[in-house]
Structure 1
Amino acid sequence: MNILILGYGKMGKIISEIAQERGHTIVGKIDESNINLLDELDTNKIDVAIEFSQPDAAVKNLSWAIKNQIPVVCGTTGWLGKKPEIERLTLSNGSAFFYASNYSIGVNMFFKVSRFLAKMMNDQPDYAVKMEEIHHTEKKDAPSGTAITLAEDIIDRVNRVKRWDLDTDTDGNEHSLPITAKRIDPAPGTHIVTYHSEIDDIEIKHTAHSRKGFALGAVLVAEWIKDKKGVLSMDDFLSF
């Protein structure tokens, strides 16, 4: 399979290595230093694009791929205010767009466990929920996309929680889910969800040991999406 890498930072490099180990060809590596080469590429020779760039570049990269009907797998966070626009563009162009805040198979199992726990905790008003996430210091957005996904899943299932807030506590606002975001090297990603009461705590935690799990997941999705159309997610890929 011929893969175009959009965004060639640390994640892009690991994705490129794993893709080639799995027998794929990297037909281009585009980042801010050579973005002018994008319109010179032969789109007929690109099967899938994998987009792990920066928030300010993601929309342009995704729009280019979608308009050229190249299935695109995106892991960039921090730009999601424009996600509905990209989804509409995908459908109107008959292309394929796949977004996940995290491509690790383990993290997506963690999402599933968190949703199940949140559904049960909806009927337990004595428990307040909070979250902590830890990433490396080069991560530009806070909270992480993974933390936001966890928070939105909880808000959808725990009626007393109306919103999330960054770096606050629940004192004085029982309707808020506080997220503490820490940036500590070389942490690739830790997420902890805690339900606290006067009697006890219930805590679930995912700790990544390296970025390889995220990169491998993105390549597996790229292999899966090649001949598909529409707006897709990890729930489709993992058949949740």
Structure 2
Amino acid sequence: MKIAILGYGRMGKTIEQIALDRNHEIVYKTSEKINTEELQKAEVAIDFSIPDAAFENITTCFKNNIPVVSGTTGWLDRYEEAVKICNENKGAFIYASNFSLGVNLFFQLNENLAKLMSKFKEYTVAIEEIHHTKKLDKPSGTAITLTESILPYTQKEDWKLVEEDEKASANQIPVVAKREEDVKGTHSIKYSSAIDDIEIKHTAHSREGFALGAVIAAEWLSDKTGVFTMKDVLGL
């Protein structure tokens, strides 16, 4: 498979190595504005750029009939617009806040636990995420995905980014985001009552899990049309 990498930072370089190990060919890689002539050499694009570039990268792929897998976070206010352009161009698209296979299983576990806990109003829920100091968005897209999966099973209306000792209002789920040196990504969900706590946690040990999931998603997407998620890729 011929792959274009849009956003050739640390994740882009890891994706390149994983793709080469899986016998794919990298035909174009850039962190600049897309050269459409170079892009058209690819059979699929993987976007791990920056929030300001993601929408243009993704929609340029649609307009050039290139399926695109995107893991860039911080641009989702334009997600529905991107989906519309994808459908208009009969394109193919997968967006995920996290492509790690383990995290996507964790997403499902989180939703299942939220369903169970919905019957027990004595528990309150809170989310914490920890990432490396160079991560631009706060909270992480993964934390937002986790929180938005919990909300329908609560009486909360929204979530709020808070400091560690700060409380959210009664109708909000508190989300704490910490930035520490060389942390690949840790996400935890805690349900607390006066009697006990119930907690689930995912800890990433390397970026390779995110990169592998993105390449697997690109392999799955390459011959399809439509908008999909990692649940489709993994059959969850």
Aligned to 2:65: 69
2:36 counterpart of 1:27: no
Number of residue pairs matched?
235
1:164 to 156, 159, 164: 159
Alignment map for 1:179-198 (pairs within 5 Å): 179-198=175-194
Quote how far apart the aligned CAs of 1:227 are: 0.3
SS state of the match for residue 150, structure 1?
Answer: helix
Quote how far apart the aligned CAs of 1:41 are: 1.5
Comparing 165-174 and 21-30, the one that deviates more: 165-174
Quote how far apart the aligned CAs of 1:211 are: 0.4
Check 1:88–1:187 CA distance in 2 against 1; reply closer, same or farther (3 A cut): same
Deviations 1:2-25 (A, max 9, x none): 000000000000000110111000
Aligned to 1:199: 195
Check 1:100–1:46 CA distance in 2 against 1; reply closer, same or farther (3 A cut): same
Alignment map for 1:1-240 (pairs within 5 Å): 1-32=1-32, 35=33, 38-41=35-38, 43=40, 45-158=41-154, 160-167=155-162, 171=167, 173-240=169-236
Check 1:170–1:202 CA distance in 2 against 1; reply closer, same or farther (3 A cut): farther
Whole-angstrom CA distance in 1 between matches of 2:69 and 2:84: 16
Query: Aligned partner of 2:9: which letter?
Result: G
SS state of the match for residue 129, structure 1?
Answer: strand
CA contact (8 A) 2:167 2:174 kept: no
Structure 1: gaps (5+ residues): none
Check 1:171–1:144 CA distance in 2 against 1; reply closer, same or farther (3 A cut): closer
Give the TM-score taking structure 1 as reference length.
0.95
CA contact (8 A) 1:134 1:191 kept: yes
Structure 2: gaps (5+ residues): none
Comparing 178-187 and 166-175, the one that deviates more: 166-175
Quote how far apart the aligned CAs of 1:42 are: 5.8
CA contact (8 A) 2:36 2:64 kept: no
SS state of the match for residue 209, structure 1?
Answer: coil
Whole-angstrom CA distance in 1 between matches of 2:39 and 2:140: 34
Query: Aligned partner of 1:31: which letter?
Result: S
Indicate the RMSD between aligned Cα atoms, in angstroms.
1.3
